[in-house]
Amino acid sequence: MRTQREDSTWQIILVALGVMEVVVEVVMVFLTLHECLVGVGGYGGGETDIGPSRFVAPVLQGLSN
Q: Are 35 and 53 in contact (CB under 8 A)?
A: yes
- Within-domain flag for 1: no
- Within-domain flag for 55: yes
Give the pLDDT confidence of 8-20 residue by residue, as tens digits: 898 999 999 999 9
> SS3 sequence, 28-44?
HHHHHHHHHHHHHHCCC
pTM greater than the 0.85 cutoff: no
Q: How far apart are CA 9 and CA 62, in angstroms?
A: 39
- Within-domain flag for 30: yes
User: Domain total for the chain?
Assistant: 1
Give the pLDDT confidence of 30-49 residue by residue, as tens digits: 888 877 666 554 454 455 55
Domain that holds residue 29: 24-65
Torsion, CA 4, CA 5, CA 6, CA 12, rounded to 10? 110
